[in-house]
Chains A and B, each alone.
Chain A
Amino acid sequence: MPLDASFVGRVYPPTDAYEVGREKIREFADAIGDPNPAYRDREAAKSIGHPDVIAPPTFAIVVTIRASRQVIADPELGLDYSRVVHGEQRFVHARPIRAGDSLTTVVSVEDIRSAAGNDIITTKSDVSTVDGEPVVTAYATLVVRGAGS
């Protein structure tokens, strides 16, 4: 059954705050094999103009993957996650995520369409500090493989 296109434009409630810790940033940087000192050393980050260690450009996925579960697990939408593959991903940063940030995310359904027997859904995750400062917007396109593929 195709995804219900009337979900386009739906906005989910803001998530609980995600507290960005220095050790989480270090763990993520280690996991992507990136030794950049800006992810580990506060003084190194300060020397290039940041108030604390910053996170790698794709770190926001750690925050938005949690937020997007609201959409993926929405029983009304009925998305079969076992058939989902990641089609596209894009991040637009107002500034880098950094240690000490307290982030909340508002997820919305940007687009739903069908192509070649697959359903394609694009979500938009607006990540801001709990004080309302925009930090990053993430666009994720998920492809729900049809029964024939």
Chain B
Amino acid sequence: MISYADVEVGTALPAQTFPIERGDLVRYAGASGDFNPIHWNERFATSVGLPNVIAHGMYTMAVVARVVTDWAGDPGAVVEYGVRFTRPIVVPDVDGAVLEVAGVVSAKRDDGLIDVDLRATVGGQTVLAKARAVVRLPAGWPA
């Protein structure tokens, strides 16, 4: 498990790539209770001016967190997590979308807390802004 002593400002977390398909959105709708049809019904989505079905912002936020929780080892280490949704992820029926996520340690605070800044893109375009997790890492052995 990663410890506070192991990381420095600028430490990069392993980047990950997540394919998103329509079926993923239907499953997330069911699990989360957010049944807004813009996330599963193409006819409805286009009728309200969207290019196609879009992913739930909260689905995107959950998937992006994987880069932090997989790295930290203990998902309970994430004490704070916030994002701004700047661009919807359009999920066409046939090809879906591919979400690419990278993270970097942007600050080491007192008490074993670190800030991780996250970058989430689809087709090279940023979909989240101000995406940051605050993570409590075990102290580890001093070098």
Contact with B along A18-50 (1 / 0, CB 8 A): 000000000110111110101100000000111
Question: A87 to B59, Cβ gap below 8 A?
Answer: no
The residue that B65 contacts in the complex, of A48, A57, A85, with Cβ under 8 A, is: A57
Name which residue of chain A comes closest to B27, CB basis. Answer: A31
For A38, what are the chain B residues with a Cβ–Cβ distance below 8 Å?
74-76
For A56, what are the chain B residues with a Cβ–Cβ distance below 8 Å?
62, 65, 69, 75
For A139, what are the chain B residues with a Cβ–Cβ distance below 8 Å?
82
Q: Is B142 an interface residue (CB 8 A)?
A: no
Question: A57 to B81, Cβ gap below 8 A?
Answer: yes
Question: A58 to B74, Cβ gap below 8 A?
Answer: no
The residue that B32 contacts in the complex, of A50, A62, A85, A87, with Cβ under 8 A, is: A62
Question: A89 to B32, Cβ gap below 8 A?
Answer: no
For A10, what are the chain B residues with a Cβ–Cβ distance below 8 Å?
none
Q: Is B78 an interface residue (CB 8 A)?
A: yes
Q: What total of chain B residues lie within 8 Å of the partner, measured CB to CB? A: 36
The residue that A86 contacts in the complex, of B27, B28, B85, with Cβ under 8 A, is: B85
Question: B84 to A87, Cβ gap below 8 A?
Answer: yes
For A57, what are the chain B residues with a Cβ–Cβ distance below 8 Å?
62, 65, 68-69, 75, 78, 81, 133
The residue that B76 contacts in the complex, of A48, A62, A85, with Cβ under 8 A, is: A48
**B117 → chain A, closest Cβ, in Å?**
14
Q: Is B31 an interface residue (CB 8 A)?
A: yes
In the bound complex, what is the Cα–Cα distance between A33 and B31 (angstroms)? 12
Question: A92 to B75, Cβ gap below 8 A?
Answer: no
For A65, what are the chain B residues with a Cβ–Cβ distance below 8 Å?
32-34
Q: Is B93 an interface residue (CB 8 A)?
A: no
Question: A86 to B80, Cβ gap below 8 A?
Answer: no
Contact with B along A103-122 (1 / 0, CB 8 A): 00000000000000000000
Contact with A along B34-70 (1 / 0, CB 8 A): 1000000000000010000000011101110110111
Question: A89 to B61, Cβ gap below 8 A?
Answer: yes
Question: B32 to A28, Cβ gap below 8 A?
Answer: yes
- Near B by CB (< 8 A), chain A positions 78-92 give 82, 85-92
Q: Is A54 an interface residue (CB 8 A)?
A: yes
For A49, what are the chain B residues with a Cβ–Cβ distance below 8 Å?
74, 76
The residue that B28 contacts in the complex, of A31, A48, A82, A92, with Cβ under 8 A, is: A31
Q: Is A96 an interface residue (CB 8 A)?
A: yes
Question: A62 to B80, Cβ gap below 8 A?
Answer: no
- 15 A/B residue pairs, CB under 8 Å, sorted by A: A27-B31, A36-B70, A39-B75, A48-B1, A54-B75, A57-B133, A61-B58, A65-B32, A65-B33, A82-B48, A88-B82, A89-B82, A91-B80, A93-B80, A95-B76
Q: Which residues of chain A have a CB within 8 Å of any CB of chain B?
A: 27-28, 30-34, 36, 38-39, 48-50, 54, 56-58, 61-62, 65-66, 82, 85-93, 95-96, 139
